[in-house]
């Protein structure tokens, strides 16, 4: 721990009015200053070790009015203001020079306070921008959390269902308020028990859109007045509907869920009302006499809220993708595309999930003996709650149906069968099917994997990746491959029909992620020309098995870089 006297001396030498606590028991220093004529006092409790940005708290925060980035907390019966300087984990602190670290932190604390005190417009903007986190400051965190599956935020009265008994975690531990316009996947709905047959009805919630909002109250005591003032910001026609329809139902419990646009986007917050006897919804000071009011934490669960938070793209939700191949690479692709926000994913594969697949496939053990495609569809709907993924046992060549294929924005082929893939490509050419296609595969012994994106409207096609680089004729092996053709790369543990190519889950995942990246960039229109991409692994295992590698392998240094696919000697492209 830094010596307190040394710290006081240091800060004083930097022109701070710094004193140590007169009580030796507490290693506390106080820094007094004036901002725009307002006296400010910051206190700092010395710690044994500096593990993050040193913390200064605002003494008597209520004297400074409502300041952005300042929240009030109780410290041994004393109100202190916690100042949010920035994400404390995002700074690298010089713990070897604690005096400098504390001084720098003090300056940052003062800067943020100065900004809030001297620039009221900025202060209000920030208070609104951080409405959600400020709201949590007045929430009763002991209350059961509310999960709202609403999409639009329009005025609506909805049922609130209680948590399932004895459920202390997972979605079944939440109060559930489900809007009529929820579009959760069928599997998710089943899993969430979002109907009254499983959960009991707790009461009614009313979703109310606001046209504006004041900054969140600082204390719970202010909630009642703050609520009544907020009602001013309801559109007149909604207010009329509230008075005449939604608030008439008498109940001992009500939830009001507001939503309003703030500088950081749409924010949602919830108030819970409880009365001894049944009353209609309190909308006036007089009606409020019957009710106790609490702010409770609300978790909005709609795709507009959840998907961007996870890095998914809402624009992808309407794109239709066919994935042929639900093996270890296809499974990875299905997972990554769904996590990116693709909902309409049709998965095709005739294969069944077996014990042999367990260690390199994304599906868990409970899907054994089930069709891989159907298993993936089920799993994706369960994990990605708006996914409409579905499985089919059809093979690539049985999909040679122009009308069906034309219904997709993108077709992804992950079957590792060059013969079928070239046959399918010939069908697409002959029948003028101009849907973009990604073909992806990986090679044995961990040497790498590849993906091609064939956009019919641009130069370059799958067959460019099959131009024999020695004869310039249409070849049988991809010229992207790292392993020379006509070598025995299979491992046979149990006789005919039991051969397999040696690669692990890491290789499948790497290939699947690479192909998914290509697919997403195409669907987001970041790639508009036919492209290819490869990743290169080590040659340890190939060398151990005397496997000959191609010139491309030895020269390749563009792993994961997307390159043009077109080969000027491809007859199909010419």
Residues interacting with another protein, by CB under 8 A?
325, 327-330, 414-418, 440-444, 468-489, 500-501, 503, 511, 548-558, 567-572, 574
Distance, CA of 560 to CA of 235 (rounded, Å): 52
The minimum distance between CB 325 and another protein, in angstroms, equals 5
For another protein, which is the closer residue by CB, 409 or 569?
569
CA-nearest of 484, 501, 364 to 442 is: 501
For another protein, which is the closer residue by CB, 17 or 548?
548
The minimum distance between CB 471 and another protein, in angstroms, equals 6
For another protein, which is the closer residue by CB, 371 or 511?
511
The minimum distance between CB 448 and another protein, in angstroms, equals 10
For another protein, which is the closer residue by CB, 222 or 568?
568
The minimum distance between CB 340 and another protein, in angstroms, equals 20
For another protein, which is the closer residue by CB, 29 or 467?
467
Contact criterion met (CB below 8 Å) for 334 and 182: no
The minimum distance between CB 460 and another protein, in angstroms, equals 13
The minimum distance between CB 324 and another protein, in angstroms, equals 10
For another protein, which is the closer residue by CB, 232 or 485?
485
For another protein, which is the closer residue by CB, 470 or 525?
470
Distances from the Cα of 50 to the Cαs of 1, 7, 35, 46, in angstroms? Answer: 8, 14, 28, 9
For another protein, which is the closer residue by CB, 60 or 538?
538
- The full 3-state SS of 469-510, as one line of letters, equals CCCCCECCCCCCCCECCCCCCEEECCCCCCEEECCCHHHHHH
- The full 3-state SS of 59-119, as one line of letters, equals ECHHHHCCCCCEEEEEECCEEEEEECCCCHHHCCCCCCCHHHHHHHHHHHHHHHHHHHHHC
Tokens found for residue 393: 């046992």
Tokens found for residue 532: 């290819």
The minimum distance between CB 376 and another protein, in angstroms, equals 14
Distances from the Cα of 247 to the Cαs of 20, 104, 152, 177, in angstroms? Answer: 57, 53, 20, 17
The minimum distance between CB 459 and another protein, in angstroms, equals 12
Residue with tokens 């639009």: 152
Contact criterion met (CB below 8 Å) for 414 and 333: yes
Pairing between β-strand 531-536 and β-strand 448-454 as defined by DSSP bridges = antiparallel
270 forms beta bridges with: 257, 296
For another protein, which is the closer residue by CB, 286 or 470?
470
The minimum distance between CB 555 and another protein, in angstroms, equals 5
Distance, CA of 479 to CA of 475 (rounded, Å): 8
Burial class (CB in 10 A: 0-12, 13-18, 19+), 349: buried
């Amino acid at each position: 721990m830094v010596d307190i006297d040394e710290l006081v001396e240091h800060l004083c030498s930097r022109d701070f009015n710094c004193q140590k606590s007169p009580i030796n028991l507490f290693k506390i220093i106080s820094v007094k200053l004036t901002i725009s004529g307002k006296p400010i006092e910051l206190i700092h409790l010395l710690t044994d070790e500096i593990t993050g940005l040193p913390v200064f708290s605002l003494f008597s925060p209520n004297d400074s009015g409502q300041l952005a980035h300042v929240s009030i907390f109780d410290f041994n019966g004393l109100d202190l203001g916690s100042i949010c300087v920035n994400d404390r984990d995002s700074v690298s602190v010089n713990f070897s020079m604690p005096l400098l670290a504390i001084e720098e932190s003090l300056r940052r604390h003062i800067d943020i306070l100065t900004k809030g005190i001297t620039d009221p417009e900025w202060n209000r903007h920030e208070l609104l921008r951080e409405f959600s986190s400020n709201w949590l400051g007045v929430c009763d965190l002991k209350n059961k959390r509310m999960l709202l599956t609403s999409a639009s935020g329009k005025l609506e009265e909805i049922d609130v269902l209680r948590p399932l008994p004895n459920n202390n975690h997972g979605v079944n531990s939440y109060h559930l308020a489900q809007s009529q316009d929820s579009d959760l996947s069928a599997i998710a709905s089943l899993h969430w028990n979002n109907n009254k047959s499983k959960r009991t009805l707790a009461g009614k919630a009313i979703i109310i859109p606001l046209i504006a909002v004041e900054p969140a109250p600082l204390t719970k005591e202010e909630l009642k007045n703050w609520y009544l003032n907020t009602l001013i910001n309801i559109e007149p026609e909604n207010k009329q509907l509230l008075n005449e329809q939604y608030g008439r139902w008498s109940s001992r419990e009500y939830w009001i869920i507001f939503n309003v646009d703030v500088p950081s986007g749409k924010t949602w917050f919830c108030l819970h009302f409880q009365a001894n006897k049944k009353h209609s919804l309190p909308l006036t000071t007089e009606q409020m006499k019957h009710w106790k009011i609490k702010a409770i934490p609300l978790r909005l669960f709609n795709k507009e809220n959840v998907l961007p938070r996870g890095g998914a793209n809402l624009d992808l939700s309407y794109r239709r993708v066919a994935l042929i191949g639900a093996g270890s690479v296809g499974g990875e692709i299905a997972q990554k595309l769904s996590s990116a926000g693709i909902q309409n994913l049709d998965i095709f594969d005739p294969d069944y999930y077996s014990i042999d697949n367990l260690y390199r496939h994304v599906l868990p053990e409970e899907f054994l003996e089930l069709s891989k495609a159907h298993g993936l569809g089920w799993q994706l709907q369960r994990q990605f709650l708006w996914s409409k993924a579905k499985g089919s046992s059809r093979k690539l060549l049985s999909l040679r149906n122009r009308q069906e294929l034309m219904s997709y924005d993108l077709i992804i082929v992950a079957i590792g069968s060059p013969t079928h893939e070239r046959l399918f490509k010939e069908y697409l050419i002959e029948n003028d099917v101009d849907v973009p296609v990604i073909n992806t595969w990986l090679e044995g012994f961990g040497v790498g994997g590849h993906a091609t994106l064939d956009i019919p409207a641009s130069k370059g096609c799958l067959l460019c990746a099959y131009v024999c680089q020695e004869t310039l004729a249409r070849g049988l092996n991809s010229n992207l491959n790292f392993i020379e053709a006509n070598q025995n790369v299979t491992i046979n543990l149990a006789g005919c029909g039991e051969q397999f190519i040696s690669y692990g889950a890491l290789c499948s995942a790497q290939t699947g992620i690479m192909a998914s990246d290509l697919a997403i960039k195409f669907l987001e229109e970041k790639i508009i020309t036919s492209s290819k991409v490869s990743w290169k692994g080590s040659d340890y295992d190939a060398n151990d098995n005397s496997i000959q590698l191609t010139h491309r392998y030895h020269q390749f240094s563009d792993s994961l870089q997307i390159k043009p696919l077109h080969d000027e000697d491809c007859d199909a492209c010419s």
